[in-house]
């Protein structure tokens, strides 16, 4: 599996993907600017690690609740593009309300309450956009496309925090929230005009088979209770599939735990290490996050030169690198050394976020892609609220530095343990071969058969 030139002439010559990439980059810049504004605003108005932990954890709950719904919608809808546009429009409106609300009041409850609505839209956007990739790219473009999207995330991670820190310092948090609203509006416009003749035509133009989606595929008109039963059946089928593919089950199980640690440290401990005074030091926190993005760009350059064969080893080695980086931040504290360590975290993040999605898109049967993708998103984010909440009392007990060391060390040990699993050691590149449809709750993993099937 290789990802040559993620931003070179190859994948970017696909005009549909280029527009999609631009839309995602714009909204990600706004997302990371929002992140700095949200965190530093909370520190300024509350001055409490517990409030910061509870608020950031609460934001994740709506998306977790709606990932499965979004996955089912993505595999049934007649237009995935329309779902993406509606999600962007909804987030733009909510962010404008947040901008107005924070301008007139310092209420933490109002800020968090409105922000929860963004999570609902995220729950639809993420799994649907994951499967939409199959409509705008060919199978042999998937690794390059996912690498380019990971680079897009890093552009957002570099530009967003730096811009967010500057905006908060110069014009305040409300204007930063309004900026995020504008990025979602522009993203929605780009997606709206992505394929004017209809999404299925994007694939027909390339001579690829079209998988029918939505009610038109089975000519069913269901009652609300029938739709609920079908939703349950759709989700159950995806769960059976994941349980039957052993390497996938291990990845989801381990990353569910370590991602909770990563998110908690990055959202609670690191802000208190880098910006203990809140908004007055917003640029220091923004620079740390930006250095993660620069590290990810280095990861993209490295990945572009590699042909990965031992994919299981690559995935978990990157998790070990990320966990060890958090340990190192706790040891050195803030300042320039922490910024250098953030580069290493970004390298691991990019490689993992490029390889794992490509494995799913290549090897999961297409009619299950949105649902299995939604389970992956749910798994990766499922324990983040708990992990973030636990960081509050841990910081009070052992300080932000000590919390980063202990939590990061735990994540490193879990990732190393996963490398002992035969199905992980046997997970190798194998072209675009897909796993068979799972029909029961048990099955064979990657290491048992020929040709087997973003981290925070």
H or E segment at 30?
A: helix 15-46
Query: How big is the CA angle at 96 (ends 93 and 101), to the nearest 5 degrees?
Result: 125
H or E segment at 413?
A: helix 384-418
User: Is 91 inside any structural domain?
Assistant: yes
Q: Which long-range contacts (CB under 8 A, 24 or more apart) does 14-17 make?
A: 14/136, 14/137, 14/141, 14/145, 16/136, 16/194, 16/195, 16/202, 17/136, 17/137, 17/141, 17/145, 17/148
**Which tens digits make up the pLDDT trace of 27-74?**
888 888 888 888 877 777 777 777 777 777 777 777 777 777 777 777
Report how many domains make up the chain: 1
User: Is 454 inside any structural domain?
Assistant: no
| Residue 226: predicted pLDDT | 61
User: Is 456 inside any structural domain?
Assistant: no
Q: Where are the beta strands (DSSP E) in 109-252?
A: none
Strand partners, 2: 307
CATH number at 229 reads 1.20.1250.20
Tell me the residue range of the domain where 60 lies. 9-202+222-448
User: How buried is residue 214: exposed, middle or buried, by Cβ count under 10 Å (0-12/13-18/19+)?
Assistant: middle
Structure tokens at 202: 């994007």
The reply to whether the predicted model has a pTM over 0.75 is no
| Residue 426: predicted pLDDT | 84
User: Is 388 inside any structural domain?
Assistant: yes
User: Is 215 inside any structural domain?
Assistant: no
Dihedrals phi, psi of 14, to nearest 5 degrees = -80, 105
Query: How big is the CA angle at 219 (ends 214 and 220), to the nearest 5 degrees?
Result: 85
Averaged pLDDT in 10-residue chunks for the chain of 456 residues = 50 80 86 83 75 75 74 74 88 89 79 83 81 76 76 76 82 86 90 60 43 45 58 78 86 88 85 69 74 81 76 88 91 82 88 82 76 77 77 84 89 91 81 43 29 40
User: Is 409 inside any structural domain?
Assistant: yes
User: How buried is residue 57: exposed, middle or buried, by Cβ count under 10 Å (0-12/13-18/19+)?
Assistant: buried
For residue 262, CA distances in Å to 6, 29, 294, 373 come to 26, 21, 18, 20
User: Is 48 inside any structural domain?
Assistant: yes
| Residue 349: predicted pLDDT | 86
- What is the chain's length? 456
d(CA 208, CA 211): 10
């Amino acid at each position: 599996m290789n990802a040559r030139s993620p931003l070179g002439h190859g994948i970017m010559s696909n005009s549909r993907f280029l527009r999609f990439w631009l839309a995602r980059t714009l909204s990600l810049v706004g997302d990371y600017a929002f992140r700095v504004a949200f965190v530093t605003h909370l520190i300024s108005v509350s001055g409490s690690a517990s409030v910061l932990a509870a608020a950031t954890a609460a934001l994740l709950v709506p998306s977790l609740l709606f990932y499965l719904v979004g996955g089912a919608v993505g595999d049934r809808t007649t237009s995935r593009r329309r779902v993406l546009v509606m999600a962007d429009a909804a987030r733009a409106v909510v962010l404008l309300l947040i901008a107005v609300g924070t301008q007139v009041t310092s209420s933490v409850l109002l800020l968090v309450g409105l922000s929860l609505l963004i999570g609902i839209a995220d729950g639809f956007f993420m799994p649907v956009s994951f499967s939409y990739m199959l409509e705008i790219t060919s199978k042999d473009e998937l690794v390059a496309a996912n690498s380019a999207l990971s680079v897009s995330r890093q552009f957002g991670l570099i530009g967003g925090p730096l811009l967010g820190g500057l905006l908060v310092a110069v014009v305040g948090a409300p204007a930063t929230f309004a900026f995020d609203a504008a990025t979602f509006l522009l993203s929605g416009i780009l997606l709206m005009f992505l394929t004017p003749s209809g999404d299925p035509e994007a694939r027909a133009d390339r001579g690829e088979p079209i998988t029918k989606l939505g009610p038109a595929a089975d000519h069913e008109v269901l009652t609300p209770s029938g739709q609920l039963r079908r939703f349950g059946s759709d989700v159950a089928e995806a769960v059976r599939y994941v349980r039957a593919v052993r390497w996938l089950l291990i990845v989801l199980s381990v990353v569910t735990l370590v991602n909770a640690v990563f998110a908690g440290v990055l959202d609670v401990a690191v802000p208190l290490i880098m910006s203990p005074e809140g908004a007055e030091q917003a640029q220091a926190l923004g620079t740390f996050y930006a250095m993660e993005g620069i590290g990810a760009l280095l990861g993209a350059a490295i990945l572009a030169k590699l042909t990965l064969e031992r994919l299981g080893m690559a995935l978990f080695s990157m998790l070990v690198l990320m966990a060890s980086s958090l340990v190192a931040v706790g040891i050195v504290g803030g300042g320039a050394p922490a910024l250098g360590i953030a580069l290493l975290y970004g390298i691991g993040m990019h490689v993992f976020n490029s390889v794992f999605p490509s494995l799913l898109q290549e090897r999961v049967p297409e009619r299950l892609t949105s649902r299995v993708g939604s389970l992956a998103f749910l798994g990766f984010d499922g324990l983040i609220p708990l992990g973030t909440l636990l960081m509050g009392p841990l910081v009070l007990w052992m300080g932000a530095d000590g919390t980063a060391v202990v939590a990061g060390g735990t994540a490193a040990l879990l990732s190393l343990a996963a490398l002992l699993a035969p199905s992980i050691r046997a997970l190798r590149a194998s072209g675009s071969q897909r796993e068979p449809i799972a029909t029961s709750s048990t099955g064979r993993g990657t290491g048992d058969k020929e040709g087997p099937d973003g981290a925070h």
